[in-house]
Structure 1
Amino acid sequence: MEKVERTDAEWRERLTPAEYAVLRQAGTERAFTGEYTDTETTGVYRCRACGAELFRSDAKFHSGCGWPSFYQPTADDAVTLIEDRAHGMIRVEARCAACDSHLGHVFTGEGYATPTDERWCINSVSLTLEPKEPAEG
């Protein structure tokens, strides 16, 4: 995967203030407000900052947590995992492996009815959805 490097000024120019706050400053959008929380469109979810492929719709599920939830990324090397001890908790932060942008957090072992027993809780503002073209018939 090719790394994407930009200066802080370049990120600020490319991203909206809300996107910058989440992607570059590890913020979180309010629960149940994101564009993709309840989306069921078939397609590929990409990093909003750099366009790298991160998740596919067939790995998305409704967890009720208020953010889009996936049970796995498209590839093991698409996302970097980092221990996050902010806010008095120990969590696992998910970042885009290509551009190091904050995506959300990964929760495991909580009894999710998924093939991986994981919930990748991802901010909608960190993603763009590339819908799959309908099959011609």
Structure 2
Amino acid sequence: MTDITETHALRSASGFDLTPPSEGQRVALEADLNAEEKRVLLSHGTEAPFCGVLLGEKRAGVYVCRQCGLPLFRATTKFESGTGWPSFTEPVDEAHVTAIVDRSYGMVRTETVCARCGGHQGHVFPDGPPPTGLRYCINSVALTFVEAGRPLPDPLGRGDGVA
């Protein structure tokens, strides 16, 4: 396991910097969130079903973490699950999404958080379509959509690329 206090950047297999934000960067990222985004990303909340602005998004591109800009899901992996939240079959890179056992509300689920900033994204369930059989059920307010060919948001100044 790599110590996150090392001076070199932690990189995913797809080349993205996974080094967690510094305390100062975290404060700045959190200050940029509205109340609903804070409730979901920082307090593990859930937006109401069928209300998220990204539910009907159909353009080519990538969905990135609203807080830190790390690419999490490609539009090509999005599908209509009928659940009321954007659903995806797999992340851009397995290293970009961290799974955590969630025992809240009297059930056992798998919570998904951004591997770089720790922002709550949603949950993953084993009832998705092929090829993975997984359904990443994600809150719209936890994501930002970046149309294909556009630069990715870079709130941490890491120059990670284009969608």
TM-score w.r.t. length of structure 2: 0.76
1:61-80 equivalence runs, <5 A: 61-80=79-98
Task: Report the Cα distance in structure 2 between the residues aligned to 1:74 and 1:17, rounded to whole angstroms.
Answer: 27
Q: Which residue of 2 aligns with 1:116?
A: 132
Q: Secondary structure at the match of 1:30?
A: coil
Q: Which residue of 2 aligns with 1:94?
A: 112
Per-residue deviation, 1:126: 0.3
Long gaps (5+) in structure 1: none
Q: Secondary structure at the match of 1:36?
A: coil
- Which protein, 1 or 2, shows the higher relative CO under an 8 Å CA cutoff with sep ≥ 6? 1
1:41-60 equivalence runs, <5 A: 41-60=59-78
Counting aligned pairs with the same residue, the percent is 42
1:21-32 equivalence runs, <5 A: 21-32=39-50
Task: Report the Cα distance in structure 1 between the residues aligned to 2:27 and 2:69, rounded to whole angstroms.
Answer: 19
| Aligned counterpart for 1:3 among listed residues 12, 20, 45 | 20
Task: Indicate if the aligned counterparts of 1:54 and 1:74 stay in contact, CA closer than 8 A.
Answer: yes
Q: Which residue of 1 aligns with 2:146?
A: 130
Q: Secondary structure at the match of 1:125?
A: helix
Per-residue deviation, 1:97: 0.2
Long gaps (5+) in structure 2: 1-17, 151-163
Per-residue deviation, 1:10: 4.0
Which structure: greater strand fraction? Answer: 1
Task: Report the Cα distance in structure 1 between the residues aligned to 2:27 and 2:143, rounded to whole angstroms.
Answer: 21
Q: Which moved more, 1:98-107 or 1:33-42?
A: 33-42
Q: Secondary structure at the match of 2:48?
A: coil
Task: Indicate if the aligned counterparts of 2:129 and 2:135 stay in contact, CA closer than 8 A.
Answer: no
